[in-house]
Structure 1
Amino acid sequence: MNEKSVMKVIEGNNDFFSRFEYNQLDKGKAAGTVAVYIRELKKLDAWLKGSGGDIESITRFDVQSYIDYLVGLGRSASTIDRIFGTISVLAKYLGKTDIVEDIRKPKKQSTTAIAPKSLERNQINGLLRDVERDGNLRNIAVINLLAYTGIRIGELADLKKSNVDLKRGGELSIVGKGNKERRVPVPKEARRHLQRYLESRTDELDALFLSNYGKPISKRSAQRIVEKYGYHAHELRHTYIRSLIKKGIDIVTVSQIAGHETIEITRRYAMASQREITEQLNNLFD
């Protein structure tokens, strides 16, 4: 089905989706959540129309066929699970919950026995070198702060000048998940770049980092700074946490610095990474 055909299908079923939207909002669902439901269901509706089906008369066969179709497209197990959740909401709305019973779906691979992905030392060094060469003081401070403190990208975006103490060794006051406050040390290199950036500012705003438009930086804008260099902020966080464990800092302290909800989350970082496992296995046959 080409793009024009898909648009005709979507436009032709606006009444159904309007009723569905009203129903879900009336049940107290958040507008953003309902918007996601509708976006996914419109894709499903277009696919059904292309194979002679219809979303209002969807069958269990249709649901299984659509899941198989998504598998064929290479969608991840977590993505398919999320879409299936939306279809389950639809099934309940239609009063046809039987159409989502015993549906075959790909299983999520367990990652509890492998450490989260982190960067190698040469990758971190290359990133710090590249951002410094570009010369943007804000970006240099952002990358260095993420790399040397391991804070979450959302936590960085929420930081105020009042959350930073660049004296007495330097530390950040972070309000993380569950509104739990913690103190995170800021190494000398990160303090140096942060100080240079703050000294370049002429505004009176309390936000620690500003966007290119002079407003408090958003989480997405902060993410783009890291993505510009081919990495993701969570990779810097994972690398920082793993480096603390490799240096012999006890796991309880690491958990507190990282702001993990449970120590079990921190234990994952003490496990071997996929790359390390592969190297160990290869060495068995050398």
Structure 2
Amino acid sequence: MMNTLDQKPATINKALATLKTFFSWAVDKNHIPTDPASKVRMKRVQQVTGPKWMTDQEINRLTYALDTEKNEFKAARDRAIFYTMFRAGLRVEEVSDLKLTHVDFRRETVTVMDGKGGKFRVVPMHQDLKRTLKAWLPFRNASKKPAHQESEFLLVTERSGKMTTRAIEHMMDTYMERCGLLERDADGKKMDGQHSCHSLRHTFGKRLLDAGRPLNEVKELMGHDNIQTTMRYVTPSRNDLKKAIEAVR
């Protein structure tokens, strides 16, 4: 489930809990002599304490790390990915699923056709994003590789016609490690509370709110289901939070 299906710890733990219950019952009923799941440990689930966004200094460090990539193909693509999350607030899955037709330079928009929960949204194209996408597309379109020519997706790897979510996360983790924004433990696992791709999306939302954009507008641009999720990007008093939620209803 973890290595092949790339499923999250919480999803894995639900399956393990079911198996443990089943095998425990099977032992009690003498259907099997021992419980094969008794020594299987549950996966540690990282505690979510709220949105984690980046400071201006951290963003500068990360953009500098992106500039260290020597391969022109990867450098152009990786910057486009970075700005798609940082300047348009797309989730990793949404970035991976972007198609060439979802980018409209004339209207200066990026369209998420099937976001979380199947939600559709259109995000204005920031000039930083427009610049990096225009720098990436010549590399993308000039490729003679069949996998690239036959693909409808915006982001490709050097070998395949679509860049997966795992590949995007691994790529961004590498840059974050280079500039000291991500640390790992002795076993090579990411330590709790570290920055990730989602930090860029959170930074997008936080900056919009800090700039005075209406809550409802930020909610729609980020594809949130409810205003309470968007409100986690600011830290008002409990009374102010209640008033703000009532004001947008």
Larger radius of gyration, structure 1 or 2?
Answer: 1
Answer 1 or 2: higher relative contact order, Cα 8 Å, separation at least 6. 2
Cα separation, 2, equivalents of 1:229 and 1:146:
15
The equivalent of 1:241 in structure 2 is 205
The equivalent of 2:243 in structure 1 is none
The equivalent of 2:239 in structure 1 is none
Deviation of 1:176 after TM superposition, in Å, equals 0.5
Shift in alpha-carbon separation, 1:80–1:206, aligned structure 2, 3 A:
closer
Cα separation, 1, equivalents of 2:154 and 2:26:
46
Cα separation, 1, equivalents of 2:173 and 2:228:
29
Cα separation, 2, equivalents of 1:207 and 1:109:
32
Shift in alpha-carbon separation, 1:225–1:110, aligned structure 2, 3 A:
closer
The equivalent of 1:212 in structure 2 is 158
Q: With the length of structure 2 as denominator, give the TM-score of the two structures.
A: 0.65
The equivalent of 1:227 in structure 2 is 173
State percent identity of aligned pairs: 25
Pair 1:268-2:232 in alignment: yes
Pair 1:125-2:89 in alignment: no
Pair 1:87-2:20 in alignment: yes
- State whether residues 170 and 191 of structure 1, in contact with CA within 8 Å, keep that contact through their aligned partners in structure 2: no
Unpaired runs of 5+ residues, structure 1, are 1-31, 37-75, 97-107, 273-286
Unpaired runs of 5+ residues, structure 2, are 30-44, 144-148, 177-194, 237-249
The equivalent of 2:146 in structure 1 is none
Aligned length in residues? 190
Q: CA RMSD, aligned part only?
A: 3.3
Deviation of 1:259 after TM superposition, in Å, equals 0.6
Q: How does 1:1-286 map to 2 (within 5 A)?
A: 32=1, 84=17, 86-94=19-27, 115-135=50-70, 136-201=75-140, 202-203=142-143, 204=149, 205-230=151-176, 231-271=195-235
- State whether residues 91 and 198 of structure 2, in contact with CA within 8 Å, keep that contact through their aligned partners in structure 1: yes
SS at match of 1:183: strand
Deviation of 1:79 after TM superposition, in Å, equals 9.2
Deviation of 1:258 after TM superposition, in Å, equals 0.6
Deviation of 1:241 after TM superposition, in Å, equals 1.0
Deviation of 1:82 after TM superposition, in Å, equals 7.9
Larger helix proportion of the pair: 1
Deviation of 1:89 after TM superposition, in Å, equals 4.4
- State whether residues 66 and 78 of structure 2, in contact with CA within 8 Å, keep that contact through their aligned partners in structure 1: yes
The equivalent of 1:102 in structure 2 is none
Cα separation, 2, equivalents of 1:188 and 1:92:
60
Deviation of 1:211 after TM superposition, in Å, equals 1.4
